[in-house]
Amino acid sequence: MSIRDVHDRVFKALSSSVRRQILDDLRDQPLTTGALCAHFPELDRCTVMQHLKVLEQADLVTVVRRGRERWNHLNPLPIHEIHERWIGPHAALAVAKLRRLKATLERQD
């Protein structure tokens, strides 16, 4: 799978507010699927499981089974890779442009 395909899967997974909320819920600690379902009373278990599947396919969530429980863990590395590839460089460019604008405006005073 190409890096483009990997990034596409991550962006697809992040496009849903439910999936972003699941990732937020998993930020501090792993949770069982049942606990995640309880966070979304408006959704049935099957729908939550479908969202988790998309997150797993994007490697944003890893699953560990303990007996009958399915523990979901956040994998922050794909988000970090997106940040390093897209957000960081674009933010640095924007900040550099703002610095130049500020310096130009200060010279005009």
Q: Where are the domains of the chain?
A: 3-108
Is pLDDT above 80 for 21? yes
Confidence at residue 17, expressed as pLDDT on a 0 to 100 scale: 97
Give the CA angle between residues 31, 44, 52 to the nearest 5°: 45
Give this prediction's pTM: 0.80
- Cβ atoms of 30 and 38 within 8 Å: the answer is no
Mean pLDDT of all residues in 61-70: 96
Mean pLDDT of all residues in 86-101: 85
Average pLDDT, the chain: 93
Confidence at residue 86, expressed as pLDDT on a 0 to 100 scale: 80
For domain 3-108, say whether CATH 1.10.150.20 is its number.
no
Confidence at residue 62, expressed as pLDDT on a 0 to 100 scale: 97
